[in-house]
Amino acid sequence: MARRDTSVPYQPQSRPEAVVSDTGERLDGRGLEEFRSAFLSPHALSQAAGSAYAECGKTKVMVGVYGPRQSARATAFSEQGRVQCDVKLASFATRQRRRFGQSTDERELSGLLATALEAAVLRHTFPKSCIDIYCLVLESGGSELTVAITAAAMAIADAGIAMADVVTACSVSRVAGQLLLDPTADEAFREDGSVLLAMMPAANLVTQLVVTGEWSSAQMKQALCLCMGGCLQLDAVTRKALASSEEQALAAMRIE
């Protein structure tokens, strides 16, 4: 039998050298501080307790939340419920076809997602139980984790699980000294530093901050301000989508 890899066509991994033009325009026509077009919709799966589908530019993510339910494996007693996250990149999500099984970057994404959400979910409301969050990245166009966090928070709210506030996330890449909001995969490839911020905008609390590279405090401040602005924009979209889905369900079941 032929080796599995032999049928994969050769694709030169040519990433563009310059991601920002002289006029300050990015490859996809955005300005430096402009967000990609976002689409968020709750209740995408019929079988899950709560679910959401999110698109940010080319990045497409589907999230299903199950529970709170008794955890399958026996664990020690805990007053606080557990939040289990599993991020999976579909084998067709990236340019190069992915191998079978969980990779190290998926494990890292799962861990980061769990930290970002644990602070928001009121875990004392479901002692001894756990919620399972399954997140599938259908297409990876850059900033998967931020989209996954936003979608997962929406799915948890859709499941009716108590949270302090919805969580939204946003990232900034630094390419050749310039700060790019919401980077695509091509832009992130050229970055020499990045900031990811997940926060609860209404409560004004940060749940997760991931920084790579060397930053001066002035530039860090600028990057954080950009991220917070992005999070606030996403928050408005999330709230609107959640409230309208809840309103519809109420109107359908109302009984005099």
Residues in touch with other proteins (CB under 8 A): 43-44, 46, 49-50, 67-70, 122, 126-129, 157-166, 200-203, 238-239, 242-243, 246-256
Supply the minimum distance, in Å, between the C-beta of residue 65 and other proteins: 10
Supply the minimum distance, in Å, between the C-beta of residue 163 and other proteins: 5
Considering the complex, state which of residue 20 and residue 44 has its C-beta at the smaller distance from other proteins. 44
Supply the minimum distance, in Å, between the C-beta of residue 23 and other proteins: 39
Considering the complex, state which of residue 45 and residue 220 has its C-beta at the smaller distance from other proteins. 45
Supply the minimum distance, in Å, between the C-beta of residue 162 and other proteins: 4
Considering the complex, state which of residue 155 and residue 195 has its C-beta at the smaller distance from other proteins. 155
Output the DSSP codes for the chain. Answer: ---GGGGSPP------S-SB-TTS-BTTS--TT-PPPEEEEE---SSSSEEEEEEETTEEEEEEEEEEEE-SS-----SS-EEEEEEEE-TTSSSSPPPSS--HHHHHHHHHHHHHHHTTB-GGGSTTEEEEEEEEEEE--S-HHHHHHHHHHHHHHHTT--BSS--EEEEEEEETTEEEES--HHHHHT-SEEEEEEEETTTTEEEEEEEES---HHHHHHHHHHHHHHHHHHHHHHHHHHHHHHHHHHHHH---
Supply the minimum distance, in Å, between the C-beta of residue 13 and other proteins: 39
Considering the complex, state which of residue 27 and residue 202 has its C-beta at the smaller distance from other proteins. 202
Considering the complex, state which of residue 158 and residue 182 has its C-beta at the smaller distance from other proteins. 158
